[in-house]
Structure 1
Amino acid sequence: MIEKRIAVIGTPGKWSTEVLADHLQRLTGFRCVVDMAEVVLELASGRLHYRDLVLNELDGVIIKKISEIYSPAADDRVRMLSQLEKDGVPCFSRPSQVGRLLNRLEGTAALARAGIPMPATRVTESTDAALGIVNQFGKAILKPLYSTKARGMVVLDASDGESANTDKLNAFKVEHGLFYLQQFAELGGQDLGMVFLGGEYLCTYARVGDAGAWNTTIHSGGKYRNYDAPPELIELGSKAQACFDLSMTTVDIALTEQGPVVFEVSAFGGFSGALKGCGIDAAEKLCHHALETLRTSA
């Protein structure tokens, strides 16, 4: 047993958070799940308090979940945790990198700058411009800047007519403001989650969509399957995740008629997909990675 105090930033009671805490308890004897809703940041000292614990005094933290729902408030929580990074507390992953991926625009803009193939994407506040983009694409996915598992996404089809699409755009703008439009990609019933740990390839799982659903997310009825990714696809995923310095991540890839495209890089990575699709306990591997990093940096 290695005597290190590593806390899990996550959602108490959620499987992905609790399994991390269980592994850490077995490996280190210490168990702590931190709910960011209860953390207090002391600005003068930069100390973060969670109940009777001072997070700045820990040996490290694993950030698994900032919030159940991505929002600007989740970004505020990352900014609070950035004080740990400033104080030299090892964070897996670093808050400065996690924050780049909470906002869809910042994350995908980094991929675009690196030349990563993605579906054609346009961003605007103009309803008229958005209508023109839908007509140009023929079919588009309207995405909130803050969301996961396809929540809040809207399919816009030029064949539905200008009036129907204007109504959808106006309703979306009331809640989200900015239009992030991506050309609809035919997934062929599945897309892929490519998992990386410490920048190294771990495995790939497929999300096979439920009949009738336009997306393949588990939230919409999709199922996990193993996928034997060829070297050129792994190279693409590796290039995408290298845009960010993350302890663990999943790269979402679709195989289209025009070739593979990357949808996004996850801020946290998918334990469930790796376990159910590939039989790999990525949570345990992340804990070992964190402990080995602490050992070699001591």
Structure 2
Amino acid sequence: MINKRIAVIGTPGKWSTDVLANHLEQHTGFRCVIDMSDVVLELETGKLRYGDVLLNELDGVVIKKISETYSPAADDRLRMLQSLEADGVRCFSSPSQISRLINRLEGTAALASGSVPLPPTRVTENTDEALNAIKAFGKAILKPLYSTKARGMVVLDATDGDTVNTQKLNAFKSEHGLFYLQKFVNLGGQDLGMVFLGGEYLCTYARVGDANAWNTTIRSGGKYQAFDASPELIELGRNAQSCFDLSFTTVDIALTDEGPVVFEVSAFGGFSGALKGCGIEAAEKLCDYVLSQLAAETAEASE
């Protein structure tokens, strides 16, 4: 047994949270799954408490999921966790780095600054400018700034005309405010999830879409398959994830007629795709990585 107290921040009862907590318990004898909705932050002391557990006294936390959905409230939870880092508790991944990916605009802006190829993208509050973007793209995906798995996304086609698209834009704006529009790209029925652990390439899986859905997400009927990525494609994924400093992540890549593009870098990454698509126990590998990092830090401190 390794004498470390490492908690998992996630959703109690969910497979990805529990499988990681199980692996950590097997190695350390300690199990703690933290639901952020029940965490208390004492601002005057910087202490975080979850029931009887004082998070500041842990050796580390692994942030598997911060919320079931992305929202400004999810970002607030990450800001609460930043006090742990300030108190010397190692977080996998850093809350400040995850926070950069909760908001779609901040995440893709970082990728664009890193010269990572993206679908053409326009961001505006102006309805007329949004209509101009739809006409320029021919077909566009309107995306909320806070969402995952294609939730809340709207397909807009220039051939539907200004009246129809204006109605859709106004309905979207009343709920989300800002227009984030990306050119609709032909996925060829699949997109890729490229998995990295500690910045090192692990595997690539494909999400093969259902014929009746415009996206390839698993919640829309997509299926995982193995994919043999070329060295050039792996380098693209490596460059994309290097825009952030994450312990574990998945880079979403599409192979389009005009070459590969990156949709996003995941704030948390998915264990299911690596397991079902590649046969790799990513949760176990992340556990091993976390323990090796903490062991190295302990050894360095004792020198």
TM value normalised by structure 1: 1.00
Q: Percent identity over the alignment?
A: 76
Partner of 1:247: 247
| Structure-to-structure mapping, 1:45-194, within 5 angstroms | 45-194=45-194
Letter in 2 for 1:235: E
> Structure 2: how far apart are the matches of 1:11 and 1:108?
26
SS of 1:274's partner is: helix
Which structure 1 residue ranges, 5 or more long, are not aligned?
none
Q: Which whole-Å deviations, capped at 9, do the CAs of 1:145-194 have from their partners, x for residues lacking one?
A: 00000000000000011111011100100110000000001000000000
Distance 1:173 1:83 in 2: 34
What SS does the corresponding residue of 2:267 show, helix, strand or coil?
coil
Q: Which residue of 1 aligns with 2:293?
A: 293
Distance 1:282 1:182 in 2: 31
Task: Name 1:221's counterpart in structure 2.
Answer: 221
Secondary structure at the aligned position of 1:30 is classed as coil
3-state SS, counterpart of residue 2 of structure 2: coil
How many Å separate the matches in 2 of 1:163 and 1:85? 51
List 4+ stretches of structure 1 deviating above 3 A.
none
CA deviations on 1:37-93 (whole Å, 9 max, x unpaired) are 000000000000000000010000000000001000000000000101111100000
Give how far 1:277 is off: 0.2
In 1, distance between residues paired with 2:261 and 2:192? 10
Q: Residues of 2 paired with 1:86 and 1:12: CA distance?
A: 26
Cα distance, 1:8 vs. partner?
0.3
Query: TM-score under structure 2 normalisation?
Result: 0.98
Tell me how far apart the structure 1 counterparts of residues 87 and 194 of structure 2 sit (CA, whole Å).
32
- Report the Cα distance in structure 1 between the residues aligned to 2:76 and 2:163, rounded to whole angstroms: 37
Structure 2 residue ranges without an equivalent (≥5): 299-303
TM-superposed CA distance for 1:119, in Å, is 0.2
Question: What letter is aligned with 1:57?
Answer: E
Q: Describe the SS at the equivalent of 1:88.
A: coil
Q: Look up the match of 1:234.
A: 234
Alpha-carbon RMSD across the aligned residues, in angstroms, is: 0.4
State the secondary structure of the residue aligned to 1:214.
coil
Whole-angstrom CA distance in 1 between matches of 2:87 and 2:240: 29
Partner Cα separation in structure 2 for residue 96 and residue 110 of structure 1: 14
3-state SS of the aligned residue for 1:151?
Answer: coil
1:211 and 2:234 are equivalent in the alignment = no
Paired residue for 1:30?
Answer: 30
Shift in Å at residue 3 of structure 1? Answer: 1.5
Equivalenced residue count is 298
SS of the residue corresponding to residue 45 of structure 2 reads: coil
